[in-house]
Amino acid sequence: MGSAHLTIDLDAIAANWTALNAKTSDHVETAAVVKANGYGLSASRVARRLWKSGVKSFFVAVASEGKTVREAVGKDADIYVFSGHMAHDTDVLNSANLIPLLNSPEQVTRHFNEAPGKPFGVQLDTGMNRLGMEPDDWTDLRSDLMSAGPRLVMSHLACADEPDHTMNHHQLRTFHELTDGIAHRRSLAATGGILLGPDYHFDLVRPGVGLYGGLPFSEATPVVRLTAPVIQVRTVRPFETVGYANSWTANIESQVATIAAGYADGLIRAMGPRAKVFAGDVPCPVVGRVSMDLITIDVSHLDEVPEHLEILGTHQGVDDLAEAAGTIGYEILTSLGSRYVRTYEGIA
Ligand SMILES: *Cc1c(COP(=O)(O)O)cnc(C)c1O
C-alpha cells in the first residue's frame, strides 16, 4: 500500500467516554462533542459508536454538522449547535430537529420568529468573550427565554486545562450568579472542566478532546494509530545534506529512509527536527524538512528498516507530536489528512 494508514479505534473512544462519565455523579449527563467532523475522525462513525454506548446528547459547531450527526444516530438523540441560530439555518435546524444554542439577542429574535415553538438552548458568556450572550442581554431577555423553556443553559471555560488558573473560579462564580435559581438544565464543563471536579459539572458535561485521546485527559486510551510506508532507503555520506534548503547535514555515514506522508497530510512543517517516528519500539529522528508528501528519517541505528514507520500510536500520541510542532493535540487531530487510508476498529 503506497499511502499512509490511519487506524481509528472506536472502542477506545467509547472507553474514554465511559472513563469521563465515571468522573461525574449519576445525576450528571455526559454528552459528546463531535464538531469538526468528530475532531477529524468522522462525526458519523464516532456519534454512532457513542450512541450505542448510551450517549444521548451530541454537540456540533454548525448546523450542517448537526444534520450529519442526525443521519448517523437517528431521531431520538439531542443534537445541540454551538453557533446557535444563524441566518439561513432555519430549514436545516428544523428538518434535522437540532437544538441551537442562542448566543445573542439577534439569534433569539430570529429563533422566536422563524422557528416558534422549536427547541433551543442558551449560551452565556462568562468571560471568555468568544461566543454567548452578554450578561446585560441575558438580564433583559431572561424572563422571555425562561418562559419559552430552554433545553439547556450553558457557558464555556477559557482556562480549564490549567486547574490552578483563577479564571476557572471566576467563571464558575459568574455562571452561578447568572443562572442560580433557574428551573432548567445547566452545563459549564468540557473535558478540562470535568477534571476540575464536581463543582463544575452541573447537569450535563460536554467532553470533546478527551474522547479522542487528547490532553488534558491524561488517562485517555490512545485512539489513533498512523503509519507511513517506507518508499526508499539510501546511504548518505558525511557532509551530504538532506531535504529542502539542505536543512540536515550528515556528520557520519547515515541511512535515511523516506516515508510517504507530509504536510499535505497534516504533519505540519513545524514538527520538523524535534519529531520522531517509531520502528516498532525504537525511536527514529526526523531529519531535514517535512515536505508536502514526504518525510526523511534517520534509520542508521536500525538492524533492519521495517516496511512501515509509526508516526502516531502508543509510543507517541497526538500531544507528543503537537509538542514537537509547537501546537496542541486538537490541531494535530483535526489536521489529519484526507489522503490516509482510514480503518475503523471496534463496533460501529
Ligand atoms: C469544543 C467545545 C467543547 C469541547 O471541548 P474539549 O476541550 O474538546 O473537551 C465544549 N464546549 C464548547 C462550547 C466547545 O466549543
- Range with the poorest average pLDDT among 124-128, 264-268, 330-334: 264-268
Q: How far apart are CA 78 and CA 33, in angstroms?
A: 12
Q: What residue type is 37 in one-letter code?
A: N
> To which residue does cell 478540562 refer?
192
From the CA of 59, how far away is ligand 1's center (Å)? 9
Mean model confidence pLDDT for the chain: 96
C-alpha cell at 214: 487528547
- The pick from 20, 33, 162, 334 for probing ligand 1's pocket by mutation, whose C-beta has the most ligand atoms within 8 angstroms, reads 33
Q: How far apart are CA 290 and CA 77, in angstroms?
A: 42
Q: Cis omega (within 30 of 0) on the bond before 273?
A: no
> To which residue does cell 462564580 refer?
173
Residue 269 pLDDT class (50, 70, 90 cuts) = confident
- The model's pTM: 0.96
The pLDDT, as a whole number, for residue 268 is 84
The pLDDT, as a whole number, for residue 214 is 97
Q: Is 156 in the pocket of ligand 1 (CB under 6 A)?
A: yes
- Catalytic residue positions? 35, 244
Q: Is 168 in the pocket of ligand 1 (CB under 6 A)?
A: no
- Whether the pLDDT of residue 38 is over 70: the answer is yes
DSSP structural state of residue 220: P
Q: Which domains does the chain have, with CATH numbers?
A: 10-212 (3.20.20.10), 224-345 (2.40.37.10)
The pLDDT, as a whole number, for residue 1 is 59
Query: In this predicted model, what pLDDT tens digit does every residue of 142-169 receive, in sequence order?
Result: 999 999 999 999 999 999 999 999 999 9
Query: In this predicted model, what pLDDT tens digit does every residue of 186-241 receive, in sequence order?
Result: 999 999 999 999 999 999 999 999 999 999 999 999 999 999 999 999 999 999 99
Contact (Cβ atoms closer than 8 angstroms) between residue 105 and residue 141: yes
From the CA of 189, how far away is ligand 1's center (Å)? 8
- Whether the pLDDT of residue 273 is over 80: the answer is no
Q: Is 208 in the pocket of ligand 1 (CB under 6 A)?
A: yes
The pLDDT, as a whole number, for residue 200 is 98
